[in-house]
Structure 1
Amino acid sequence: MSKPLIYLASGSPRRRELLTQIGVPFERISSEVDETPLPGEGAHAYVARLAHAKALAGVAMVRQAGLPQRLLLAADTTVALQDRILGKPVDAADAVAMLSQLSGRRHEVLTGVAVADGERVEVVVSESVVQMRELSATEIAAYVATGEPLDKAGSYGAQGLGAVLIKDLSGSFSGVVGLPLTETAALLQRFGYPFWR
């Protein structure tokens, strides 16, 4: 028997791949929210707030479109260097600057995951620590020239070429990629989703 369909309020191809990996069928919907951090907002609070807001926006869109009621999943990932939020770079120069800051240093990758059923929303935050190796200016420029960093929080993708920049990672690899699978499965099950069916 197949698992029930959920809504995925995310345009991320990585989240689509990860949900497919754990056998959760989904229909993608749009859920746009303003991702500007609030004044003084820490990285943990930021990803939790955005995941929650994206879930609410997704539920509102489902209602407005008259779509069938289903569980809805939304997520947000950010990189934090000493609790300073490093989002997606605005351009190549910004990506170079971010990677230069991360070179040789430890940083956190936080992913907030929200599940909503139309009545309630629950959010969990996955925290991982990544140690970047020392990067030369030439390496950084060559990596940025591939285009991979330009749509990634912190300007690198652990699931792509950016993997060669990482010296060590503790926590959830899938969380660093964009959807912590252990936490996601547990959250869906809290809403009665028959995960093991």
Structure 2
Amino acid sequence: MTASGPNGTEKAARPAFVLASASPRRLDLLAQLGLTPDRVFPADIDETPARDEQPRPYVRRMAAEKAVSVASQITDPALVLGADTVVALGRRILPKAEDRDTARACLRMLSGRRHTVLTAIHCRPTATWPNGRVCERIVETAVIFSRLTEQQIEALLDAGDWQGKAGGYALQGHAAGFIRFVSGSPSAVIGLPLFETAQLLRGQPYHWVS
């Protein structure tokens, strides 16, 4: 793709920016950087952890596989951003809560305990944009819940913002009133580490963010 420069010369047009996720939270976070994806292309991959897979290798693999999957399906020059977030208790990967029972079990395990939230981001150009760079980051954030009563857990479940969330809670939701400590990147816990994402995009050949 080309475009006319100020003196009539041709210059390469900016490749499309593609988010390999349908998460509205990631869209909102990108908007804080002044960036709106040209395309939202959710990755369709198997997110089952491998046998004995640890949280850090798992989240790195998921972000990369999402970006690779989407990049392989786009024929135009583009930069694809994949991301994944996991909640870990030691070496245990907590599931994404797709039902109330799963969310309840997660909140009971997290009650009064310190846990780790790992978010990986992976930038990958499509094959038709050879100037783009493959790059990635993993951001680790420590979070501590206060001790939750059964009544408080049920109230959080009634609020409903646990649905589809890693570990059964949303930092930006009702659970915020029970989180007494966060060390690291709050935006990473929500789904996308803003500082690290901006750094990766600034390292690409185009000025994706200011």
| In the alignment, structure 1 residue 128 sits paired with structure 2 residue 141 | yes
Aligned length in residues: 191
Q: 1:75·1:114 contact (CA, 8 Å) conserved in 2?
A: yes
Aligned with residue 7 of structure 1, among 7, 18, 38: 18
Describe the superposition over 1:69-125 as per-residue Cα deviations: whole angstroms up to 9, x where unpaired.
111111000100012001212410111111000000000000010101125532210
Greater gyration radius: 2
| In the alignment, structure 1 residue 24 sits paired with structure 2 residue 32 | no
Paired AA for residue 47 in structure 2: E
Which residue of structure 1 aligns with residue 195 of structure 2?
A: 182
Distance 1:188 1:56 in 2: 17
Percentage of matched positions with identical amino acids: 41
Distance 1:170 1:4 in 2: 36
Q: Report the Cα offset of residue 191 of structure 1.
A: 2.0
Describe the superposition over 1:117-157 as per-residue Cα deviations: whole angstroms up to 9, x where unpaired.
12553221010000111110011011112221121000000
Structure that is richer in helix per residue: 1
Distance 2:33 2:143 in 1: 24
Q: What value does the CA root-mean-square deviation take over the aligned residues?
A: 1.5
Runs (5+) with no aligned partner, structure 1: none
The verdict on how the C-alpha distance between 1:38 and 1:183 changes in structure 2, with shifts beyond 3 A counting, is: same
Aligned with residue 86 of structure 1, among 94, 97, 110: 94
Which residue of structure 2 aligns with residue 154 of structure 1?
A: 167
* Normalised TM-score (structure 2): 0.86
Distance 1:196 1:59 in 2: 21
Aligned with residue 138 of structure 1, among 140, 151, 172: 151
* Normalised TM-score (structure 1): 0.92
| In the alignment, structure 1 residue 106 sits paired with structure 2 residue 114 | yes
